[in-house]
A and B are shown apart, each in its own frame.
Chain A
Amino acid sequence: MSSRMPLTYSKKVLELFRNPKNLGRMEDANAEALAGSLACGDMIAIYLKVDEPSEKIIDAKFESYGCAANIAAASILTEMVKGKSLQDAWKISWKDISDELGGLPSVKYHCGVLAVGALRRAMRAYYVNRPKPDWLPGELTREEKQALEEEKLMEVLAKRAQSQLAK
């Protein structure tokens, strides 16, 4: 474990890790989603309050089980989406999150990807019982697929580890 020392994070990442903005569950959210899993050690919950007539995000909150980068990525994303229309929020990429954080270490890019995956999943949840807009892709985007893959992979690995021990 000698190589397992904390990474050098940007000032912004450490600041948001120390004092996360928009942390906590939102009781009156009208869209929410969870991405990742405990087994991955990487999990983000996104809560959105969407103003229905304008389809603008008026409030956003998050919870996170994960590393400092994961927490900072989820927190900055909730800051970035506030006041944006759902259509504009959909366009936010993991790279935008990384840039906004002053750069993520390369092994932590997936934290940005997971945050985007969680956000898009929450937006899809919003449209489950509402007419879907034209801009919403029918197919899952790369970020959403990546979140799904991470969840499936860890399920498989965890099961394999358990069965190996049983032998």
Chain B
Amino acid sequence: MSAHVDKETLIVSIAAINHEIGTIQDMKAIRDIVRDKDEAVLIHTDACDAFGRIPLDMKNLDVDLASFSSHKVYGPKGVGALYVREGIKIEPIIYGQLSTQKLWPGVENVPGIMGFSKAVEVIHRNFRENVLNMSDLRDRLTSGILNSVDHTMLNGPLGDERAPDNVNISFLYCEGEALTVELSLNGIYVSSGSACTSRVLEPSHVLLAIGRRYEEAHGSLLMKITPFHTIADIEYVLDVLPGVVKRIRSISPIKPVKEVR
């Protein structure tokens, strides 16, 4: 971090939690490193995936800007919030019908905002209990999969350094898109870092950045726990998943055939 901040740096923007592998960043340490180098550098955090998962005390966090989105706390899509510390002036990125106080032109999506507000209230109602419950389900799912399916690897950290809702596992000799399709036919909706699931046919840059090989990224599944999930849901996934992985692996020419060119 220190090596990347210099005189040219205007703003540092870091996701408080990585949404693919669940890494919780030490935002305070990052803030201190940046401010040590240069007091004037602004610090922004994308807190979308942290909101409702870890405590976010803006005073304590002391960043300049933070963004939040409604759908990540199970509110309506298309609404978000930007925290701007007092005294910081930012320019709108879109101009239109604009009053002096508006960062975004046009009329507000009032029903969306009301829904967002309600979602924030609900997610923080039993915050500690929800987080403990999600962490428990996360660990059950993670260890259940790692213990019941061979040739698997967990992507991202374990325990307290990981978001309570995030499970990301690579299944070797398996292509992730095929896994997601087969799981969806069983009522389980998850995503994959495989190139085949993206519209650009490139595997997840996050998985490549932590040193996963292409085939390990292709075989990855990202599963998210919500406060609405139960132990029964996790048990159902653990029941179905090994068979799904086995079937997809059985289709593959795992031992490559003699190559003729």
What is the interface of chain A, defined by CB distance below 8 A to chain B? 1-6, 9, 14, 17-18, 20, 23, 25, 32-34, 38-43, 45, 47, 63-71, 107, 110, 121-122, 124-125, 128, 154, 157-158, 161-162, 165
Interface mask (B104-138 → A, CB under 8 Å = 1, otherwise 0): 00000000000000000000000000000000000
Chain A nearest CB, measured from B155 CB (Å): 12
In the complex the two chains form, is A154's CB within 8 Å of B214's CB?
Answer: yes
Looking at chain B's contact residues, the main secondary structure is loop
Assembled-state Cα–Cα distance A34/B256 (Å): 8
Residues of B within 8 A of A122 (CB): 260
Q: Which of B178, B197, B253 contacts A25 (CB 8 A)?
A: B253
Chain B nearest CB, measured from A137 CB (Å): 15
In the complex the two chains form, is B175's CB within 8 Å of A65's CB?
Answer: yes
Q: What are 16 of the A-B contact pairs (CB < 8 Å)?
A: A1-B19, A4-B198, A14-B181, A25-B253, A25-B257, A39-B214, A41-B196, A42-B195, A45-B257, A47-B257, A65-B254, A68-B178, A154-B214, A161-B213, A161-B214, A162-B213
Assembled-state Cα–Cα distance A32/B20 (Å): 39
Chain A nearest CB, measured from B197 CB (Å): 4
In the complex the two chains form, is A121's CB within 8 Å of B261's CB?
Answer: yes
Assembled-state Cα–Cα distance A111/B19 (Å): 29
In the complex the two chains form, is A64's CB within 8 Å of B252's CB?
Answer: yes
Residues of A within 8 A of B189 (CB): 5
Q: Which of B175, B185, B254 contacts A41 (CB 8 A)?
A: B175
In the complex the two chains form, is B253's CB within 8 Å of A6's CB?
Answer: no
Name A13's closest neighbour in chain B (CB-CB). B181
Residues of B within 8 A of A63 (CB): 251-253, 257
* A-B contact number at CB 8 A: 127
Nearest 8 pairs of A and B residues by beta carbon: A41-B218, A63-B253, A67-B177, A67-B196, A125-B260, A4-B197, A65-B252, A45-B253
Interface mask (B159-197 → A, CB under 8 Å = 1, otherwise 0): 000000000000001011110111011000101111111
Name A151's closest neighbour in chain B (CB-CB). B261
Interface mask (B202-224 → A, CB under 8 Å = 1, otherwise 0): 01100010010111001000100
B90 is an interface residue with CB less than 8 A from chain A: no
Extra pairs beyond A33-B257, A47-B257, A63-B251 (12, CB < 8 Å): A1-B19, A1-B193, A4-B222, A14-B181, A38-B214, A40-B214, A42-B196, A45-B257, A63-B257, A67-B194, A71-B178, A158-B214
Chain A nearest CB, measured from B189 CB (Å): 8
Q: Which of B185, B195, B222 contacts A18 (CB 8 A)?
A: B185
In the complex the two chains form, is A6's CB within 8 Å of B203's CB?
Answer: no
In the complex the two chains form, is B203's CB within 8 Å of A41's CB?
Answer: yes
In the complex the two chains form, is A32's CB within 8 Å of B260's CB?
Answer: yes
Chain A nearest CB, measured from B20 CB (Å): 6
